[in-house]
Amino acid sequence: MSWEALATEIRGCTACPELVAERDRVVVGELPAGARLVLVGEAPGAQEDLEGRPFVGRAGQLLDRLLAEAGLDRADVGVLNTLKCRPPANRAPKTPELARCRPWLERQLACSGDALLVALGGTAVGWFFGRGAKIGALRGSVATVDGRRVLPTYHPSAALRFGPNGAPMAALREDLALAASLL
């Protein structure tokens, strides 16, 4: 199935009644043709829900800046989320929601060939490595999960929360540079 056909299917999804009632848009994500790097975050926030694009709020602006520092152009990078619909008031995704949305991300990743995947934040890291996986213990190197190369790291929101001199910012910067060096 083509990316566009899959995106159309996802936009029609109504599997999570609470999210469907609150969302403005289904934020499918982006996968530029031939992308060698695909980032996987948690879920859309308010700005993403408004614009229908992933990572366009403050966290997204930071991500763009760190990608550019690593020599990467966001236009060449895939950006997906574990959930395609915004949880109300930006609460954390619930386990049943993640389970319902999982097949969509699986199918999206199947479209991404052998791209290097970067899991951003606890929810995405848990999606690949299992609940309870610790970013601090896993970050900084690439693991193979179900035949995919996955680099776990912090979410840009955590980097913002801990500030410019916080450990998550330094780790995210370092890990995106590592990802760039592996392409």
Task: For the CB of residue 7, give the shortest distance to ligand SF4 in the complex, in Å.
Answer: 11
100 binds ligand SF4 (CB under 6 A): yes
Considering CB under 6 A, how many residues would be counted as binding ligand SF4?
15
Among 3, 7, 16, 169, which residue interacts with ligand SF4 (rule: CB under 6 A)?
16
Cα–Cα distance list, 144 to 35, 150, 174 (Å): 19, 6, 20
Task: For the CB of residue 177, give the shortest distance to ligand SF4 in the complex, in Å.
Answer: 32
Task: For the CB of residue 95, give the shortest distance to ligand SF4 in the complex, in Å.
Answer: 12
86 binds ligand SF4 (CB under 6 A): no
26 binds ligand SF4 (CB under 6 A): yes
In a 13 Å sphere around the CA of 41, the CA atoms on its Cβ side amount to 27
148 binds ligand SF4 (CB under 6 A): no
Task: For the CB of residue 94, give the shortest distance to ligand SF4 in the complex, in Å.
Answer: 10
Report the 3 state secondary structure along 101-153.
Answer: HHHHHHHHHHCCCCCEEEEECHHHHHHHHCCCCCHHHHCCCCEEECCEEEEEE
Task: Provide the CA 41 distance to its chain's centre, in angstroms.
Answer: 2
First and final C-alpha spacing in the chain: 26
Number of residues in the chain = 183
107 binds ligand SF4 (CB under 6 A): no
36 binds ligand SF4 (CB under 6 A): no
Task: For the CB of residue 97, give the shortest distance to ligand SF4 in the complex, in Å.
Answer: 6
